[in-house]
Amino acid sequence: MPVEILQNIFRIEVPLPKNPLRMLNSYLIRGEESSLLIDTGFNLPECRAALLPALESLGVKQETLDVFGTHIHSDHIGLASEIVGPGRAIYLGSGDFHWAASEESNLYWELMDQRFLIEGFPQEELTYLVDRNPARNYGPVLDLPNYKVVKGGDTFELGGHYLEVVEAPGHTPGMVCLWMPREGVMFTADHVLFDITPNITMWPNMKDALGSYLDSLKKFREFPVKLALPGHRETGDYVARIDELLRHHDRRVAETERVVSENPGLTTYEIAGRMTWQIRAKTWQEFPVIQKFFAVGECLAHLDYLIGSGRVERVADGTLHRYFAL
C-alpha cells in the first residue's frame, strides 16, 4: 500500500523478484492536471501487479501521468513506456537519454561486450550472460517519442510542491535526482543508497565514472537535506552515509592500486579476481558469472579513476588491455 510521506507525495514499494536489491521505491507526486511518477520497477508482471493498483488507489489517471526516470536501469524505468500517459513525457538525464533514444542506443550491449573482451572477460562467459542479465531483458520499450531530456536546474511544480532537477552523474552517465528546497527533501535515486553500496561501473560514454560519482557525492553533501528518499530500501543519516561512501571508494581505489602494483601486466578480469568481494564464493572461479560481470565493471571504473589520477597506465597488448602501476 502506498505511504503518504508529505501531502500529495507517496512512496510505493515495488518488489524486484529474484534480485538482491529486493525492492524499488517508486514515488508519486500527485497533482491536479498532472502527476509525476519517479521510477517504476522492472517490466515484469510482479512489478506491474504492485504499481498499477497503487496508482489506481491514489486516483491517478493514466492520461495525466508523466514519468521521471532517475536513470536508465531497467529496475527504475522498466514499466515507463507502459504506464506513461498518451503524449506525456518520460524524463531522463541527457547521458542516459543517449542510451534510450539515440542512434547508438541499440549498440549498448555490443559496445559493452567488445570492451569486456578487451578487458579479459572470456567470450563463453559473455555468451552465457546474454539471456541471464536482468538489465538486458526487463527494460521498457525504447523506440518512443515520449523521452524528454531534463537538465540540472529544470523545475517541476505540481501537487503544491516545487522540485528542482539535480544532476548526479556516476552510477549512470545521466542520473538525475529531485530536490525540494522548501522541505529539504532529496530524492536520491541510486546515487545515495543507505543499505546498499551503489554499483559504479564502466560506461561507453563516460571517461571516468568513479571520478564523476565522487564529484557528484561531494556536490550532494552540500545540500541541506532533512530527508533523503532513496531508490531502494530505507533512508538514513544523509551526510554520514555520503562520508561512508567516500571512504569506501578510497579503500577500494587503494586496494585496486595495490593489486596492480603487486601484479604488473594483468587484465581487468584478472585484477578483479584478486580483489576482495563481499560474496559467499570462496574463489574467483566459483563466482556466479553475473557477479563476475559486475565485479569486472566495478574494477574497471576504479582503474579508469587511477589512470585519470596518473597512478596506473593501460597498455594495449594484442587484443587485450593490461595494467601497470606508475
Residues at the contact surface with Zn ion, assessed by CB under 5 A: 73, 190
122 Cβ contact partners less than 8 Å away, ≥ 6 residues apart: 269
Distance of alpha carbon 177 from alpha carbon 187, whole angstroms = 6
Least spacing, CB of residue 231 vs Zn ion, in Å: 7
Helix, strand or coil, per DSSP, at residue 316: strand
User: Own/partner pairs for 13-18, CB < 8 Å, 24+ apart?
Assistant: 13/50, 14/40, 14/41, 14/47, 14/50, 14/51, 15/41, 15/46, 15/47, 15/50, 16/41, 16/42, 16/47, 16/75, 17/44, 17/46
Residue 184 contacts residue 224 (beta carbons within 8 Å): yes
Distance of alpha carbon 92 from alpha carbon 174, whole angstroms = 7
Helix, strand or coil, per DSSP, at residue 266: strand
Q: Which is nearer to Zn ion, 73 or 115 (CB)?
A: 73
Least spacing, CB of residue 73 vs Zn ion, in Å: 4
Q: Which is nearer to Zn ion, 190 or 257 (CB)?
A: 190
Q: Which is nearer to Zn ion, 167 or 190 (CB)?
A: 190
Least spacing, CB of residue 66 vs Zn ion, in Å: 20
Cell of residue 266, nine digits: 594483468
For 287, which DSSP code? S
Q: Which is nearer to Zn ion, 147 or 323 (CB)?
A: 147
Q: Which is nearer to Zn ion, 65 or 189 (CB)?
A: 189
Least spacing, CB of residue 121 vs Zn ion, in Å: 21
Q: Which is nearer to Zn ion, 293 or 323 (CB)?
A: 293
Helix, strand or coil, per DSSP, at residue 93: strand
| Burial bucket for residue 261 (CB in 10 Å: 0-12, 13-18, 19+) | middle
Q: Which is nearer to Zn ion, 196 or 239 (CB)?
A: 196
Residue in the block written with cell 563463453: 124
Distance of alpha carbon 54 from alpha carbon 60, whole angstroms = 9
Least spacing, CB of residue 22 vs Zn ion, in Å: 14
230 Cβ contact partners less than 8 Å away, ≥ 6 residues apart: 25, 188, 189, 190, 192, 193, 194
Distance of alpha carbon 262 from alpha carbon 273, whole angstroms = 14
Q: Which is nearer to Zn ion, 200 or 225 (CB)?
A: 200
